[in-house]
Amino acid sequence: MRLSAIAAVVGAEVLTDELGVDVDACCACGADLMSDVLTYTRPGALLLTGLVNPQVIRTAEMADVVAILFVRGKRPPAETIDLARQVGIPLMSVSLTMFSAAGRLYEAGLRGCDLHGRS
Partner 1 sequence: MGVREPMATGLPSSREISKAQELVYELQIGQVMTRSVLWVTPDQTMRELEVLLRGRGIGGVPVVEVDRLAGIVSVSDLIRSLHSGVPDTRVREWMTADVVTVREDDSVVEAVRAFAQRPVSRLVVVDDKGKVVGIVTGGDITRGLLRAMAPAHSRSEVGRHRASHIFQDIVSDDTSLRLRYSIKPRDFGRGGEAASKLKRALQRLGGWPEIVRRVAVATYEAEMNLVIHSSRGGEIVAEVRPDQVRVAAVDDGPGIEDVEAARKPGFSTAPDWIRELGFGAGMGLSNIERCADEFTIESERGAGTRLAIAVRLAEEERLGNSPT
| Residue 93 binds to partner 1 (criterion: CB under 8 A) | no
**Segment contacting partner 1 by CB under 8 A, of 10-18, 68-76, 92-100, 109-117:** 109-117
Burial class (CB in 10 A: 0-12, 13-18, 19+), 61: middle
63 is a contact residue toward partner 1 (CB under 8 A): yes
The answer to whether 18 contacts partner 1 (rule: CB under 8 A) is no
Please, what sign has the CA dihedral across residues 97, 103, 105, 108? negative
Nearer to partner 1, 55 or 97 (CB): 55
Strand residues in 52-115 grouped as ranges (E) = 67-70, 91-93
Question: Of 17, 15, 23, 16, which Cα lies nearest the Cα of 6?
Answer: 23
Binding residues (CB under 8 A) for partner 1: these are: 1-2, 5, 9, 26, 32-36, 38-39, 43-44, 49, 51, 53-56, 58-59, 61-64, 66, 79, 87-88, 108-109, 111, 115-119
